[in-house]
A and B are shown apart, each in its own frame.
Chain A
Amino acid sequence: MANPILVFCEQRDGRLKKVGLEAIGEARRLGEGAGREVVGIVIGASVASLAEELARHGTSRVLVGEDPGLTRYSSETYAAMLADAATRLQPVAILMGATAMGKDLAPKLAARLKTSLAQDCVALQMEGDGFLLATRPVYGGKLRAVVKAVTPALQVVTLRPNVFSPIEPKPASGIPIERLALQASPDRPRATVRDVQQTAGSKIELTEAGIIVSGGRGLKGPENFKLVEELAAAVGAAVGASRAAVDAGWKPHSYQVGLTGKTVSPQLYIACGISGAIQHQAGMSSARTIVAINNNPNAPIFKLATYGIVGDLFEVIPLLTEEVKKLKAES
């Protein structure tokens, strides 16, 4: 039987990250040809109840690493558990989301297993013998690298959120859920999360948002971000900002989309008063639909935009908010 594909599904506070289900969907597609089993792993203090959700999204087996001490993330304990599972199952690949946790955990795991690592992948292809061809943006998105491991075993891969599709969930009844105890390292973890602080503001996390409305220098001042926030509220979007807006102190760095900020792949990205410098494009050019609102018809953002409106954003954004509200009221 072909070696399985292992998918680590991140949870925080008992809630699964969407990208974990996307990774299961992709693992299913990758493993289909060779009949590879897709095994899910979930780790935390009390996570057994999440196993069913993984099964509904396509895993045929779920490994649960539970420990009352694991209310918070620990790179050391998580890596030890995943390494243990990998050693026992000998998966051809280990997939996880390219989240703050995934991008922290994957390099540690790959170094421990002495295997290949491909971070933040946007496309994957598996050859019959298990070699993965992983496509990942490099040079701030100016190029894409297609990388391949030297051995088709334990290939560690993180998947960019919002790029891959989960499968249609099926009822979990009848799908066997096995619970395997995972052995954590006996050593006490040394780096310890003491506190998790929520940042105030946007409730929807940028990297996971389906829709993002971003504001830039064209807003002319921090007080005008409320136009962007009102539009975001109407359309159900997260709020982002350009580097210019962040550097001016209008929004904290956690809002920044671009080279020195976050990389996002939403269904819809609305850029308000953002010229679209290469710095900004690096963070948002993989959005499916891009709308640009800018008063400068020569702004580079219009080269990327699916739809553009050349006009005064102080007039256009409130009109757009109203039109969206009307549409939502009708549907």
Chain B
Amino acid sequence: MKIVVCVKQVPATESKLQMTTDGADVNRSGLSFVINPYDEFAVEEALQIKERLGTGEVTVLSMRPHADQKPEEALRTCLAMGADKAVLLSDQVFDGGDAFTTALVLAAALRRLSFDLLLCGKQAVDDDGSAVGIQVAELLGLPHVAVVNKLEINQGARTVLAHRQIEGGIEVVEAPLPALITCQKGLNEPRYPSLPGIMKAKQKPLEVWTRDTLGLPAETIGVAGAKQRVVRLEPPPPRPAGRIIEGDAPTAVKELVRLLHEEAKVI
């Protein structure tokens, strides 16, 4: 089974974020970057499927979202975890796009790769858009199942059975292959790259593809093709100062219930 995993390199979650001078983006210089945590579930799942079936190939695919990022590092980590090969989509014209143009670039790359299954994270923890994976499937005309925390492959029937988290339960969704799955926490426990894995990763193929490789018209991608732009980034509104309710537990609790009832009017 041939599996392609789309990964995004994102700022580490503990990063202190500062805005660029135009206020519409995060200043990336000096930040440390990691593989998007949900994409790690996707990589791990691909490796486990290959191990379970005893055959197959895992390709990791990433687009450089910004000139100041080095997603090849994220791809090397995936190779060190056990992926077989990597493709980096890197071109200045990809910069400044949105979910749609990203999906367009990824879909163009995927048309050049052969696969039975596509895996990606349910969302990237920078844009929090929960869109690109599903849009890739739509652009390729493939079925998708999103926010999956359990996945079974039926190789004979060429189908997947995916458990997808919904409010108060799960939907069990069946889809024919090839299909795209977006991965949720709970699917597996991503492994750490081993030392031999890290050594081997250096020898594994990592190709770099540009807009020319993909043959995409420049006006459809990056800033030119984006359907949306960020006007500004701003900090969330400050919360009004809270108060600690003093006194022994019975007194404090009585006062708390009074405040919730009379002041906040929430109970």
Chain A residues close to B by CB (< 8 Å): 72-73, 75-76, 79, 99-101, 103-104, 106-108, 110-112, 114-120, 133, 136-151, 189-199, 205, 207-208, 211, 235, 253-254, 256, 259-261, 267-268, 278-279, 285-286, 288-291, 297, 302-312, 315-316, 319-320, 323-324, 327
Contacts and interface: CB of A to CB of B under 8 A. Distances in A.
Interface in B70-104: 98-100, 103
Contact of B236 (A119, A144, A235, A278): A144
Interface residues of B, number: 76
A81 to B, nearest CB: 15
Contacts of A312: 249
B235 interface: yes
Nearest to A150: B227
Contact of B229 (A148, A261, A324): A148
Nearest to A243: B185
Contacts of B245: 307-309
Given A117-B227, A147-B230, A104 B146 contact: yes
Contacts of A103: 130, 146-147
Nearest to A306: B242
Contact of A143 (B172, B236, B260, B267): B236
B135 A311 contact: no
Q: A-B pairs with the 8 shortest C-beta distances?
A: A191-B143, A107-B131, A111-B135, A116-B228, A100-B166, A111-B138, A191-B175, A107-B134
B242 A308 contact: yes
A139 B126 contact: yes
A199 B170 contact: yes
Given A100-B164, A191-B145, A199-B168, A320 B256 contact: yes
Contacts of A199: 168-170
A327 B167 CA distance: 30
Contact of A316 (B135, B137, B253): B253
B144 A115 contact: no
Given A114-B100, A119-B130, A139-B17, 9 more contacts: A107-B132, A143-B233, A149-B228, A191-B173, A278-B14, A288-B266, A297-B244, A307-B256, A324-B257
Given A149-B227, A279-B13, A75 B260 contact: no
Contact of B175 (A150, A192, A195): A192
Interface of B: 11, 13-14, 17, 26, 37, 98-100, 103, 125-132, 134-135, 137-139, 143-147, 149, 161, 164-176, 179, 185-186, 226-236, 239-240, 242-245, 249-250, 252-254, 256-257, 259-261, 264, 266-267
B249 A196 contact: no
Contacts of A76: 143
Contacts of B175: 190-192
B172 A190 contact: no
Given A107-B131, A150-B228, A144 B235 contact: yes
A291 B99 contact: no
A310 B226 CA distance: 50
Contacts of B125: 139-140, 259
Contacts of A196: 166, 169-172
A286 to B, nearest CB: 8
Contact of B174 (A139, A191, A197): A191
Interface centre among A76, A208, A288, A323 (most CB of B within 10 A): A323
Nearest to B171: A193
Nearest to A187: B141
A307 B242 contact: yes
A138 B176 CA distance: 33
A319 B249 contact: yes
Nearest to B128: A138
11 contacts: A73-B171, A75-B144, A139-B17, A139-B128, A145-B230, A146-B234, A194-B174, A196-B166, A196-B172, A253-B149, A309-B245
A192 B164 CA distance: 12
Contacts of A107: 99, 129-132, 134-135, 138
B143 A205 contact: no
A145 B23 CA distance: 10
A318 B17 CA distance: 41
A87 B14 CA distance: 43
A327 B267 contact: yes
Given A145-B230, A207-B167, A110 B135 contact: yes
B13 A112 contact: no
A285 B239 contact: yes
Contacts of A110: 100, 131, 135, 227
A290 B241 CA distance: 11
A133 B231 CA distance: 8
A253 B264 contact: no
A279 to B, nearest CB: 7
A323 B100 contact: no
Contacts of A193: 171-173
Nearest to A208: B167
A291 B245 CA distance: 10
B146 A320 contact: no
